[in-house]
DNA sequence: GCGCATTCTGAAAGCGCTTTCTGCTACCGT
DNA sequence: ACGGTAGCAGAAAGCGCTTTCAGAATGCGC
């Protein structure tokens, strides 16, 4: 019946619980406890819920004056939409999950940087989980992320070669993916048929081996992490195979296994020394281990590269600042992080994509031609 | 996209018809698109929604056989509760927000490690945001986290001493806190009345200054980050004041400002050299800058600590592996991360708590008694 | 055997939002 | 002038869960 009133009639319609005494100052701020809802905004703007929603989302054209009222109301009330309600209503969330072993490891930190950067570009929030290398915890996190209806789950870091783990991981991941969840992994392959960013560990390690061989080394030792990690298998395998091609063998007692950490590297190098270091060149499977090894060598008065050459893998940013700067196989970590993120939110392909990132051998000063004791 | 669920009313119909109890228990694994809901579980267990919910939450005693049926159904369907729906219904979420400048900075990485560890203990998920030192982005993230109804928001890293920023930050934080959101910060104080973990930057820097003075240095230079950061003000202030107490001044041209990064440190040190380095001791306001500085000195053939001593601040893990190992002021970064997390989820106090963490000067090998050119 | 307290179950009302669907007004062509 | 169409506002139906609330079933005392 009514024309749209050109003038504003008394504000506040049948407000149920609006604060009485609508004095001069715009008193709205409920003192505590409850959030401002879209309903509040709509009421204050004297429009329907639907209209308020439309204005705020720009879904549909809304008459200019209404639009303005809504916007004003929203800002006056400092309205923040409830992302959970939105996620529920839209059946999709604004968050992606990132699972890695340990954020404070420079390798993961660099990748996480790439991921968060890429996520920011898409207006996504990153939920970060560190498993501290506990497979069970990894599965738990996937469950949580699944519950959060994360738009995608990113698994960063080597998978475990373990049947039980693969099974329970699959039990979480399968239903997640079946329901439309996206999964992408960095650096793992076995048993997971998902989009993958794959550093060429095997080839990189092989290339490194050849380079080291080219320097004249014939006597190697390797500092490795847990053998259940696919990365270990690949890097160690690639290295060993390339050596074998040149007729150089890598006896088992030259491979020292420790945890994939700085301290692990330190311990492994120390163990090597204890066994009576004869190798002229040591390959630490990750830069982080190499850092520890370098310190161990220094501590024990073993000159690098004078007495022994040392090489790592990953090229985390810090290694160029070491003394001597570390020879390593460079991986574009941050870029890999961006790629895995982008893979995950891209339209799913019929079959899983694999993006390979070759490693580039970068020779720095921890390696030199073998100076002593060449194997006869 | 077709719905293939015969036993499930298609979305958004107004059919009130609950499917009558037709016997045929079969058809579960929905091929695609839609998640398993509690409704599905209840139906399969032939109990009500309420009962299923109660079983899964252990809210109330439920008859043993029903309980068993629900549990079985849930596991057979690989049910994962929708955290958004839970958050909505319970009006509280399982996630906390962590805002830092850059995860890949070892300082933040170490803190993030502590935070994620503590969060895991409480079954919380951490939503991580890197601002890349952009104040506007920081405010945006708070808005997002607010929308997510994050249980708490953790602001890690120095705040900006900037009126406009403080205002817009407050505009987000105030309503959030008023609605029951918890906020805790690490390393900032101005303008935010919230629970705080406070490294004693001023005192730490002062203690460092005194130690350095004690070594015999009288001629200092400082490598600093952006002056709008409170951390810069505190560390620089503390250092300068302690110097002043000993009658040593720190002229402005001895303070080089660069970004708070490794490259910033490198650039700042290079600039110092360009100006004709006369100081016998250089204080880099963060270890990360010190790392860059150390490399710059090495590159330019300046011996540390032979020609110049160098000290940092924070004691990030890597600095003990530098050559020479870096003298610095140690902060228990990981522990601080745990504390700020715990502060945030603890019952809010009537007035904001402040937990102070003193820095401990740890002398390593980048500092020595001044070997040359003593002033005066 | 009956009334009443005691459990436990299921129906239903939200939580805050999006998105039909319906219905209105204004405008168009003829 | 009239039907037809476009454009836009509002009512209401969910999204998947938790949690009252009321009702059914059981047990007890007398």
A129-185 pLDDT per residue, tens: 899 888 888 998 998 899 889 999 999 987 777 888 888 998 899 989 888 889 999
pLDDT at B208: 98
Chain C nucleotides close to protein (CB under 7 A) are: 7-21, 25-26
pLDDT confidence of residue B372: 53
Q: Which residues of A touch B262 (CB under 8 A)?
A: 317, 321
> Which residues are paired to B198 by β-bridges?
B356
Instruction: Write the pLDDT tens digit of every residue in B139-178.
Output: 988 988 998 899 999 999 877 778 888 888 988 999 898 8
The phi and psi torsions of B143 (rounded to 5 degrees) equal -60, -45
- Is the CB of B147 less than 8 angstroms away from the CB of A80? yes
- pLDDT of chain A along its 376 residues, tens only? 333 333 333 333 333 333 333 333 333 333 446 789 999 999 999 999 999 999 998 888 888 888 999 999 999 999 999 999 999 998 888 889 999 999 999 999 999 999 999 999 998 989 898 998 888 889 989 988 998 899 999 999 877 778 888 889 988 999 898 888 899 999 877 767 889 999 999 999 999 999 999 999 999 999 999 998 889 999 999 999 999 999 999 999 999 999 999 999 999 999 999 999 899 999 999 999 999 999 999 999 999 999 999 999 999 999 999 999 999 999 999 999 999 999 998 888 888 899 999 999 999 999 999 975 444 3
Q: Is the CB of B147 under 7 A from strand C?
A: no
Per the document, the length of chain A is 376
| Contact status, residue A281 vs residue B254, Cβ threshold 8 Å | no
B220 has which bridge partners? Answer: B281
- Residues in chain A closer than 8 A to B144 (CB atoms): 83, 94, 125
Summarised one tens digit per residue, pLDDT across range A67-120 is 999 999 999 999 999 999 999 998 888 889 999 999 999 999 999 999 999 999
> In angstroms, how far is D9 C1' from A49 CA?
10
Measure B42 CA to D26 C1' (Å). Answer: 24
User: Is B116–A129 a contact, with Cβ atoms under 8 angstroms apart?
Assistant: yes
**How many CB atoms sit inside 10 A of residue A351's CB?**
8
Place of tokens 């998978």: A159
Report CA(B62)–C1'(C5) in Å, whole number. 19
Model confidence, pTM: 0.87
A21 Cβ neighbours under 8 A, 6+ residues apart: none
Q: Do B31 and A178 touch (CB under 8 A)?
A: yes
The CA distance from A82 to A35, in Å, is 9
A171 CA → D17 C1’, Å: 23
Note the Cα B344 to chain centre separation in Å.
Answer: 12
Q: Find the CB nearest A112 among B104, B175, B291.
A: B104
Which of residues 56-75 of B have CB within 7 Å of strand C? 60-63, 66
By the 10 Å C-beta count (0-12 exposed, 13-18 middle, 19+ buried), B20 is classed as exposed
Q: Which nucleotide is nearest to B88 (CA to C1')?
A: C15
- Could you give the angle at which helices B287-299 and B106-121 cross, rounded to 10 degrees? 150
Chain B positions touching A110 (Cβ under 8 A) are 104
Name the token pair of A101: 């072993």
Q: What per-residue string of b and e applies to A323-349 under the rule 16 or more CB within 10 Å gives b?
A: bbbbbbbbbbbbebbbbbbbbbbeebe
Q: Which residues of A touch B314 (CB under 8 A)?
A: none
Tokens of B226: 């952006």
Report CA torsion sign: B191, B193, B197, B202.
positive
Torsion of CA A21, A22, A27, A28, to 10 degrees: 100
Question: Mutation test of the interface with chain A: which of B77, B84, B142, choosing the one with the most A Cβ atoms within 10 A?
Answer: B84
List the one residue out of A126, A145, A193 whose CA is nearest residue A353: A193
- B220-224, strands of its sheet edge to edge: B255-257, B220-224, B281-284, B309-311
Beta strand B360-362 pairing with B328-330: antiparallel
Query: Contact B80/A113, CB-based, under 8 Å?
Result: no
Q: Which residues partner with A282 through β-bridges?
A: A221, A310
Bridge partners, A223 (sequence order): A256, A284
The fraction of chain B above a pLDDT of 70, given in percent, is 89
* CA to C1' distance (Å), from B36 to D16: 10
Report chain D positions within 7 A of protein CB atoms: 7-20
- Of the candidates B33, B106, B320, which has its C-beta nearest A179's C-beta? B33
Average pLDDT over residues B48-69: 89
Residue B334 has pLDDT above 80, yes or no: yes
Which of B36, B320, B321 lies closest to A175 in CB terms? Answer: B36
Which of A172, A176, A295 has its CB closest to that of B321? A295
CA distance B89 to chain A (A): 10
DSSP H helical segments within chain B, as ranges?
38-45, 49-57, 64-76, 83-90, 106-121, 135-147, 163-178, 201-214, 230-245, 262-274, 287-299, 333-345
């Amino acid at each position: 019946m009514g024309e749209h009133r050109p003038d504003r009639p008394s504000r506040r319609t049948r407000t149920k619980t609006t604060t009485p005494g609508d004095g001069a100052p715009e008193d709205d701020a409920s003192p505590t406890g409850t959030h401002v809802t879209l309903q509040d905004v709509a009421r204050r703007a004297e429009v329907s819920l639907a209209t308020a929603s439309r204005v705020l989302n720009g879904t549909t054209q809304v008459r200019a004056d209404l639009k303005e009222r809504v916007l004003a109301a929203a800002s006056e009330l400092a309205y923040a939409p409830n992302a959970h309600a939105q996620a529920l209503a839209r059946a999709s969330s604004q968050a992606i999950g990132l699972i890695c072993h340990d954020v404070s490891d420079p390798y993961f930190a660099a990748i996480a940087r790439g991921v968060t950067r890429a996520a920011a570009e898409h207006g996504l929030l990153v939920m970060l989980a560190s498993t501290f290398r506990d497979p069970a915890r990894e599965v738990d996190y996937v469950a949580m992320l699944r519950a959060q209806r994360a738009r995608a789950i990113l698994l960063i870091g080597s998978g475990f070669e373990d049947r039980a783990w693969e099974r329970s991981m699959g039990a979480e991941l399968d239903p997640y993916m079946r329901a439309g969840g996206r999964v992408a992994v960095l650096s793992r392959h076995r048993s997971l048929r998902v989009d993958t960013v794959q550093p060429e560990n095997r080839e990189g390690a092989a290339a490194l081996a050849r380079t080291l061989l080219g320097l004249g080394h014939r006597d190697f030792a390797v500092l490795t992490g847990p053998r259940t990690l696919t990365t270990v298998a690949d890097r160690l395998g690639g290295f060993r195979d390339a050596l074998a091609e040149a007729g150089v063998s890598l006896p088992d007692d030259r491979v020292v296994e420790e945890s994939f950490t700085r301290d692990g590297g330190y311990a492994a190098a120390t163990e090597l020394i204890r066994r009576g270091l004869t190798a002229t060149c040591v390959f630490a499977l990750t830069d982080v281990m190499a850092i520890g090894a370098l310190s161990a060598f220094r501590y024990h008065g073993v000159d690098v590269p004078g007495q022994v050459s040392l090489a790592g893998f990953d090229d985390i940013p810090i290694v160029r600042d070491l003394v001597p700067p570390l020879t390593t196989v460079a991986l574009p970590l941050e870029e890999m992080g961006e790629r895995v993120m982008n893979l995950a939110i891209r339209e799913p392909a019929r079959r899983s994509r694999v993006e390979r990132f070759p490693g580039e051998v970068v020779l720095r000063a921890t390696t030199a031609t073998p100076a002593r004791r060449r194997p006869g």
